[in-house]
Each structure stands twice: as structure tokens, then as C-alpha cells.
């Protein structure tokens, strides 16, 4: 997969992209990241990328010309791949969106700075807008890295265990079960006996129930859309979960648990 990133701070990306799984994905040609400094497409001697907002109000706004020039130079006109703006006003970036993006051969990400970009970039260049959460960061570099990271680990061949992403939180609509490793007893706290039993059917059932319990306690909204078996429903009912008769498209058809204790 190729990812083109347009930013004023390309140097932010390399240290993270050169670590661990992302570095290996790049070495093996599974991920091809190209970093572009928007400032390289300015034409004035001060290499100006921002200007004051029309209407006043303080802060600076990223000018449209260098952004259009950079993206069209690299991706053509019209752009040959989705052009995704990182913005707190975008649609929420979720694991489902990460899966969708991971199936594309190429995407471009634009990282904003200051008060954001001239609105004409959003209206006439950008094809999608993603937010990594309901908070405002100083720039779109971290959000772009978040997207690159989440998408890369879903690319075929990137993780040693091809099923690993399918077992992660959100991929099956639930939070994942807890994990333990050696030692079996640490400071008097023991690993659950079932995980040391060698009984694979029991372990699978325990993990499924832990996954359901965690989701119910922490993110009951997810249960509304999770694919649940009759056994799952019976187990959840013992925890106090009741299915509401709302349409499947509603945000949540489950009532929140009374306590978050485990
Ligand atoms: N004035 C903008 C607003 O209120 O919507 C926020 C601008 S923010 C200070 C500067 C840049 O950081 C944005 O253009 C965007 O690229 C990035 N950014 C900040 N928070 C983000 C978030 N939650 N998700 C994605 N990008 C974000």
C-alpha cells in the first residue's frame, strides 16, 4: 500500500515509521510511505504557507495554493487516490474505517496546522475527512501517524499471525479478552487457573465470556452491533444486559451496566 503524506513537518514521521512492525513492513515493501513538505510548493521568497483569516479573529490559516499544488503534482489532477484530510471535524476514525482503507492500494493524508486549512481545500480537493477523537491537537501529524499505524497492521503479511488483527478489539465488534504471561504468580496475584488448564474448549469459552463482560462493562454501545450467538446472549443476560427493541441502526440498543467493577 502506498501512503502519501502532506505536512509542514515531515521530520515528525520518520522516527516512528522506522520502528518495529512499521519499519519491517516498509523494508518488505508492504508499506510505501512518501512524505511531502507542503512548503516545497510555495512560490514566494518567504515560502509562506499561512495567512490571516478573512473576517479577522486571530490565528492563522493554511493557504490553499501550496496544498493544491503539492497534492496535484504528486497525485495528478484530479487526484488518482482518495485525499484524506485529518481534522477534528471529520468522521470518526474507527477499526472499521482502518479495515476499509487497508483494502485500498493508495491513499493520501493531509495534516493541518494552525487554525486549519482554507475551506476551499476541503471543498474542492479533499475526498474524505477523518478525526481521531473529540479533542483538538496542534497538528495533523499525530492523527496521520495513527491512521498509518492502524492501517498498516491490517495489511496482509505485516503481522506474523495473520489472524491476530481479527482477534483484536473492535474487529469482531467486541473488546478483546485479557492476556497473561509468565510468571504464573506475581506478587501473589495468580493467572486464572483456566488459562493453565490446557483445556482449549474451556479457554475459548472463558475468553469469549471475558470479552463479552468487558464490552458490557466498558463499551455497552458496541453490543448493539456485535454479532452475538444465543450462548453470548444467555451469558450477557446473567450480567444484567437486556436487548432493547430499537432498530439495529440505532447507536445503542443496550442499557449501560450499573457498575464498572470486574
Ligand atoms: N480550528 C480547528 C477546529 O477547531 O476544528 C482545529 C485546528 S487544529 C489546532 C490544527 C490541525 O490539527 C487540524 O487542521 C488537523 O489537521 C489536526 N487535528 C487536530 N485535532 C485533530 C483530531 N482530533 N483529529 C484529526 N486531526 C486533528
The ranges assigned to domains in the chain are: 2-152
> What is residue 75's three-state secondary structure?
helix
Is the CB–ligand 1 distance for residue 122 below 6 Å? no
At 253 the pLDDT is 46
Q: Which atom of ligand 1 is nearest to the CA of 85?
A: 16
- The strand pairing partners of 107, in sequence order, are 3
CATH number of this structure's domain 2-152, picked from the four choices 3.30.40.10, 3.40.50.300, 3.40.1280.10, 1.10.1330.10: 3.40.1280.10
Task: Give me ligand 1 centre to Cα 78, in Å.
Answer: 25
Ranges in the chain, pLDDT < 50: 245-253, 259-262
**Which protein residue's CA is at the shortest distance from atom 13 of ligand 1?**
112
Burial of 62 (0-12, 13-18, 19+ CB in 10 A): buried
| Ligand 1 atom at shortest distance from the alpha carbon of 136 | 20
Whole-model pTM?
0.93
Taking phi first (over 0 means left), then psi (-120 to 50 degrees means alpha), and beta for anything else, what does residue 33 get? beta
- Please report the pLDDT score of residue 82 as a whole number: 98
The Cα 5–Cα 259 span in angstroms is: 43
pLDDT of residue 5: 99
Per DSSP bridges, beta strands 50-51 and 61-62 are antiparallel
Helices (H), 38-190: 64-75, 95-102, 119-124, 141-152, 164-167
Question: What pLDDT sits at residue 258?
Answer: 53
Look at residue 90 and give its three-state secondary structure.
strand
pLDDT number for residue 257: 59
Q: Whose CA is nearest to atom 19 of ligand 1?
A: 137
Length of the chain: 262
How far apart CA 99 and CA 95 sit, in angstroms, is 6
CB 81 within 8 A of CB 108: yes
What is the reported pLDDT for 243?
83
Amino acid at each position: 500500500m502506498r501512503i502519501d503524506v502532506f505536512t509542514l513537518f515531515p521530520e515528525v514521521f520518520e522516527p516512528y515509521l522506522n520502528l518495529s512492525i512499521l519499519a519491517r513492513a516498509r523494508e518488505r515493501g508492504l508499506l510505501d510511505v512518501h512524505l511531502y513538505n507542503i512548503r516545497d510548493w510555495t512560490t514566494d521568497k518567504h515560502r509562506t504557507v499561512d495567512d490571516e483569516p478573512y473576517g479577522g479573529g486571530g490565528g492563522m490559516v493554511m493557504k490553499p495554493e501550496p496544498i493544491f499544488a503539492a497534492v496535484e503534482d504528486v497525485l495528478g489532477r484530479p487526484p488518482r487516490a482518495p485525499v484524506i484530510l485529518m481534522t477534528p471535524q471529520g468522521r470518526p476514525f474507527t477499526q472499521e474505517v482502518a479495515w476499509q482503507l487497508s483494502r485500498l492500494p493508495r491513499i493520501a493524508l493531509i495534516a493541518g496546522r494552525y487554525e486549519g486549512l482554507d475551506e476551499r481545500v476541503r471543498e474542492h480537493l479533499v475526498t474524505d475527512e477523518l478525526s481521531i477523537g473529540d479533542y483538538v491537537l496542534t497538528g495533523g501529524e499525530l492523527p496521520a501517524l495513527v491512521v498509518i499505524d492502524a492501517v498498516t497492521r491490517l495489511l496482509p503479511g505485516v503481522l506474523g499471525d495473520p489472524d491476530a488483527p481479527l482477534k483484536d478489539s473492535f474487529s469482531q465488534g467486541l473488546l478483546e479478552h485479557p492476556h497473561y504471561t509468565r510468571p504464573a504468580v506475581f506478587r501473589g496475584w495468580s493467572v486464572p487457573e483456566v488459562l493453565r488448564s490446557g483445556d482449549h474448549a474451556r479457554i475459548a469459552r472463558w475468553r469469549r465470556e471475558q470479552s463479552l463482560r468487558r464490552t458490557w462493562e466498558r463499551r455497552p454501545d458496541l453490543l448493539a452491533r456485535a454479532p452475538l450467538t444465543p450462548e453470548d446472549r444467555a451469558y450477557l443476560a446473567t450480567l444484567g444486559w437486556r436487548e432493547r427493541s430499537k432498530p439495529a441502526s440505532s447507536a445503542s440498543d443496550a442499557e449501560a451496566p450499573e457498575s464498572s467493577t470486574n
